[in-house]
Amino acid sequence: MSYVDGFVIPVPQGQKDAYRKMAEEAAVLFREAGATHVVECWGEDVPEGKVTDFYGAVKTEKGENVVFSWITWPSKEARDEGNRKVMADPRMKMPDDMPFNPQRMIFGGFEVIVEAGSK
């Protein structure tokens, strides 16, 4: 089964286009490094929860939205090697004008245990 890196990111509403541009550029790097699929989703129908929710998970501030994204890899080993390549690539240098606060991004690696549907 494949391996997935998942992310939830707070992004100011006015930075949607800048975030999309940065994400498109990063997707190229991840694909070159072996990722099979890169998906970035702009929050559209994200309810506020009574106990917890996506907004609270990344401590969104007024005027921010959440991005939910994932990168699919053939295996954890491919992901570990791919991430090493991406992080060493000079194109991955963080710009001074990041379109989001990376300190409030949450992320993790996940073993796929159920997969249904077409590829």
Q: Which of 38, 46, 37, 35 is nearest to 11 (CA)?
A: 46
Residue 97 confidence (pLDDT): 85
Residue 81 confidence (pLDDT): 98
Task: Compute the radius of gyration of the chain from its Cα atoms.
Answer: 15
- Report pLDDT digits (tens) over 68-114: 999 999 999 999 999 999 999 999 887 788 899 889 999 999 999 99
Q: What average pLDDT does this structure show over 42-55?
A: 96
Residue 35 confidence (pLDDT): 98
Residue 119 confidence (pLDDT): 62
Residue 118 confidence (pLDDT): 73
Residue 94 confidence (pLDDT): 78
- To the nearest whole percent, how much of the chain has pLDDT over 90? 87
* Residue 38 contacts residue 30 (beta carbons within 8 Å): yes
Map tokens 């090697």 to a residue: 81
| N-terminal to C-terminal alpha carbon distance within the chain | 12
Band of residue 27 on the pLDDT scale cut at 50, 70, 90: very high
Query: Per DSSP, what are the bridge partners of residue 71?
Result: 5, 38
Integer Cα distance of 36 and 28 in angstroms: 11
* Residue 10 contacts residue 66 (beta carbons within 8 Å): yes
